[in-house]
Amino acid sequence: MIGHDCNMIAQSLIEIAEMVRNGRRSARSVVTEALATIQERNDACNAFVAVNSAQAIEDAEALDQRVLHDGPVGPLAGVPLAVKDTEDSIGYRTTFGSRMWASAPIASADSILVARLKAAGCIVVGRTNTPELAAKGVTDNPMFGATRNPHDRTRTAGGSSGGSAAAVASGMVPLATASDGGGSIRIPASACGLPGFKPSLGRIPDGGPNPVDWMNLTSRGVLTRTVDELLTVLDVIVGPDPTDLRSLPVPAVRWTQAVAMQPLPMRVGWSPTLGYAEVDPQIAATCAAAVDQLAGDGIEIVEIPSVFDRDPIGVWMTLVSSYLRRSVGNRDTMLMDPEVASMVNSAASTTAQQLIDADDACHRINLQLVDAFRHCDLLLTPTLAFDPEPIGQPDFRFVRATYPFNLTRSPAGTIPVGIGAAGLPIGLQIVGPQHADVAVLALMRHIEQTRRPGQL
C-alpha cells in the first residue's frame, strides 16, 4: 500500500484554497508539492499518463500574482487538478487511452468542466489514465498499461476513471475530473476508498463543439477525498450550458447549503443483489452492517429483494457499442484493446430499430426503479459485488450493480463503509429518484461523518 503520510493528504482542498486566497500559502508551493508527490508515487500505480510541470508552475505563479494584487482567484484557488484523458485541457493531447489518438493535436481549448474548474482557481498538473475510450470497468489500455490500486498494487483501481481515483486516493492530487457512463466514477471510487457521485444526467454540462459521446448515459463529475470537498467543487461546476441539450437549470440553493439543510430519509430500501447480481458474502455483510447502523439513526430499512426483473447489461451494451462505433468511425480496430474492439465490431450489425428498442427498454427499466421508490426514499446496494479484480485477470462480475442507474439517468453515489479481508475498501451505493441529487449527497455525508471504528 502506498504511504499516506504527506502534507497533501493532511490538507483538504478546502483548506488549500483558503490558505492560498489568504496569502498564507502560495499556489506555487502547493503545486510544487503535488508535482513532487506525483514523481515519487506515480510509478507505483500508473495513475498519470502526462504531466506538464513547467506549465503548472507558471499557472500557479500567475495565480499568486493575482492574490498579491487583490485580483480574482476563485473558490478553488491553487488546488492541483488532474484531468481524465477523455477531457480536453489546453496544452495536452486527449488520447482517450487509445493508440488511434496517440498523435491527436494538442488541445487549444478546455472542456466546459475543465474551464469551470480553472476559472475557480484550479491548476492543471497532468492527465490521468483511462481504459480505451473509457469503455471498461478496469483501467488498462495498450498505450499506457494498467493503473494499480493504491491499496493493493496487484489489483485494479477500477474504471474508467481509475487513473483519477488512484491519483486522489494515493495523495498525489486532492481533485481529479471523472465521468460515469456505466459506473466509471462509482466503481473506481469504491475500489480506492473514496466517495464518488454520479450526478443526474445534465447536472454538469458536457457540450462544446462536438456531440456528446455517450449522450444518454454519461454524467461528468469529479473525485475528491471527502464529501464536503465534493460539495465545494460541485458548487463550482453544476449548472447549464447552452451547447448541451441535456443540461439542467442552476439549483435554487448552493449544494453545500442544500445538503446541510436536507433531512435524513424516512426510509431506505436495501437490495443487496438488485434481483440479479451475485454478491460476495463479506461485501454484502459489510454493507448490511452499514445499513443497520442507519436504523439506529431512526431510518426505517425496507428489504427489497428484487429491483429489476433481469440484468440490464444487454441494453447497456447495445447503446455503448453503438456509441463506441460512432467514435471509432473508419479507423482500424486492430490497433485497439481487443475487448473494446469486440464491442465496436459487435455494433456493425445493430439496426436503428434495435437502438430504439434499447432506448425503450430504458423507459421500462426506469419504471421498475420507480416502483421500488414507492417503498423507500433512497435505494442502497453494494457498489461492487466482489473485490476489484487482479491486474490482467478479467472477471467483470464485480461491476454489475452500477450500470442500471445510467440507463435510468438517476443520481447515484458510493461511500466507503469498511475494509474487506483482502484489505480492499468496500463501498455502499446510494441511488436516488429522478433529480434527487441533494438527498443522495446528504446521506453520503451523514454516513461519512458517522463511520464506526474500523471503517475507512
The answer as to whether 294 is a domain residue is yes
Identify any residues that bridge with 92 across adjacent strands, giving them in sequence order.
none
**Domain's final residue, options 249, 279, 298:** 249
Specify the pLDDT at position 10. 64
The pLDDT tens digits of the residues spanning 294-338 come to: 999 999 999 999 999 999 999 999 999 999 999 999 999 999 999
303 and 174 within one domain: no
Asked if residue 166 and residue 92 are part of one domain, the reply reads yes
DSSP string, 95-138: -TT-GGGTTPPBPSS--HHHHHHHHTT-EEEEEE--SGGG-SSS
Does 455 reside within a domain? no
Domain shared by 298 and 191, yes or no: no
Task: Please give the positions annotated as active site.
Answer: 84, 160, 184
Q: Are residues 217 and 116 in the same domain?
A: yes
- Which of 220, 249, 278 terminates a domain? The answer is 249
Indicate if 162 and 284 belong to the same structural domain. Answer: no
Report pLDDT for 1. Answer: 47
DSSP SS3 for 27: helix
Do residues 375 and 433 share a domain? yes
- What's the pLDDT score for residue 452? 64
How far lies 205's CA from each of 115, 200, 237, 241, 407, in Å?
Answer: 11, 11, 8, 6, 18
Does the residue 327 lie in any domain?
A: no
Q: How many helices and strands (H and E) does the chain possess? A: 15, 13
Q: What is the pLDDT of residue 421?
A: 86
What pLDDT score was predicted for residue 87?
A: 97
Query: Which are the contacts of 46, defined by CB distance < 8 A and separation ≥ 6?
Result: 129, 144, 145, 146, 147, 148, 163, 166
Quick one: cell of 186?
Answer: 462509482
- Give domain status of residue 352, yes or no: no
| Cα–Cα distance, 15 to 269 (Å, whole number) | 36
User: Given its phi and psi angles, is residue 455 left (phi above 0), alpha (psi -120 to 50 degrees) or beta?
Assistant: beta
Residues 243 and 303 in one domain: no
Other beta carbons within 10 angstroms of residue 33's beta carbon come to: 17
- pLDDT at 4 (0 to 100): 38
Angle separating helix axes 112-119 and 227-237, nearest 10 degrees? 110
Q: In whole angstroms, what is the distance from residue 52 CA to residue 72 CA?
A: 24
State pLDDT tens for residues 250-261: 999 999 999 999
The CA angle 92-96-98, to the nearest 5 degrees, is: 110
pLDDT at 201 (0 to 100): 96
Same domain? 31 vs 102: yes
Is residue 340 in some structural domain?
no
**Amino acid found at 255:** W
Task: Say how far apart CA 139 and CA 8 lie, in whole Å.
Answer: 24
| Percent of the chain that is helix, strand, coil (3-state, to 5) | 40, 15, 45
Q: Is residue 285 domain-resident?
A: yes
Give yes or no: residues 159 and 286 share one domain: no
Grid cell, residue 59, equals 499557472
What backbone phi and psi angles, to 5 degrees, belong to 177? -75, 160
Per-residue model confidence (pLDDT) at position 396? 85
Q: Answer whether residue 117 is part of any domain.
A: yes
Overall domain count for the chain: 2
Low-confidence spans in the chain with pLDDT less than 70: 1-10, 452-456
The string of DSSP letters for 372-423 reads HTTS-SEEEEES-SSPPPBTT---GGGGTTSTHHHHTT--EEEEEEEE-TTS
Q: Do 377 and 399 belong together in one domain?
A: yes
Which three three-digit cell numbers place residue 288? 448490511
The C-alpha torsion from 409 through 410 and 413 to 417, rounded to 10°, is -130
C-alpha cell at 264: 435524513
216 and 285 belong to one structural domain: no
Sign of CA dihedral 221, 227, 233, 235: positive
Domain region containing 364: 261-312+357-449
Residue 341, in any domain of the structure: no
Number of other CB atoms surrounding residue 3 within 10 Å: 12
Indicate whether 413 and 441 sit together in one domain: yes
- Looking at 211, 228, 249, which one is the last position of a domain? 249
Q: Determine which helix (DSSP H) or strand (DSSP E) holds 148, and give its type and residue range.
A: strand 148-149
Taking the C-alpha atoms of residue 130 and residue 164, their distance in angstroms, rounded to an integer, is 8
The CATH number of the domain holding residue 276 is: 3.90.1300.10
